[in-house]
């Protein structure tokens, strides 16, 4: 560190968690593309295009890093959350009919992982959040 220079806490967290954010984004994109056979279905889901902020976790009292993607009107399309214990979660809205199950609607794709020091090594898992079609 340079003498007299302090890195912004937000930027420090963004830099530190960038590889994890990119891995979560890749899991979200790959999972969505596999079901919908559209490689760019959630193309805007990339770590470098999100807006970041620190947010106090009510349960632990520690700061969590939150990343969001917003549409042109300011509505959230997706988000990533990195907790102080190393666990993380991401979601991105798809909002389409399920291509293989006519009775289901795909609301979003989700990805999550425990702490990298945990029993599963922080392996990222992903799946869809479904709603039954009306």
Model pLDDT for residues 97-127, shown as the tens digit of each residue: 999 999 999 999 999 999 887 777 789 999 9
Q: Is residue 2 part of a domain?
A: no
Q: Which of 131, 132, 125, 95 is nearest to 110 (CA)?
A: 125
Q: What is the pLDDT of residue 43?
A: 87
List C-alpha distances in Å: 98 to 6, 45, 129: 49, 20, 11
Q: Is residue 1 part of a domain?
A: no
Structure tokens at 10: 């937000």
Contacts of 25 (CB under 8 A, 6+ apart): 45, 46, 47, 80, 90
pTM for the full predicted model: 0.89
Q: Is residue 110 part of a domain?
A: yes
Q: How many separate domains does the chain show?
A: 1
Q: Greater confidence, 10 or 61?
A: 10
pLDDT exceeds 70 at position 4: no
Q: What is the pLDDT of residue 6?
A: 66
Q: Is residue 33 part of a domain?
A: yes
Q: Is residue 4 part of a domain?
A: no
pLDDT exceeds 70 at position 2: no
Question: Using one digit for the tens of pLDDT, what is the confidence trace for 47-99?
Answer: 999 999 999 988 888 899 999 999 999 999 999 999 999 999 999 999 999 99
Q: Is residue 39 part of a domain?
A: yes
pLDDT exceeds 70 at position 128: yes
The domain in which residue 93 lies consists of 9-132
């Amino acid at each position: 560190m340079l003498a007299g220079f302090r890195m912004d806490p937000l930027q420090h967290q963004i830099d530190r968690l960038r590889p994890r954010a990119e891995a979560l984004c890749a899991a979200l994109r790959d999972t969505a593309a596999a079901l919908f056979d559209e490689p760019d279905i959630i193309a805007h889901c990339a770590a470098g295009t999100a807006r970041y902020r620190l947010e106090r976790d009510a349960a632990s009292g520690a700061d969590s890093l939150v990343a969001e993607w917003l549409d042109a009107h300011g509505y959230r399309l997706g988000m990533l959350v990195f907790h102080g214990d190393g666990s993380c979660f991401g979601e991105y809205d798809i909002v389409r009919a399920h291509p293989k199950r006519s009775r289901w609607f795909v609301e979003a794709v989700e990805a999550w992982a425990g702490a990298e020091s945990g029993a599963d090594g922080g392996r990222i898992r992903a799946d869809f959040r479904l709603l039954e079609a009306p």
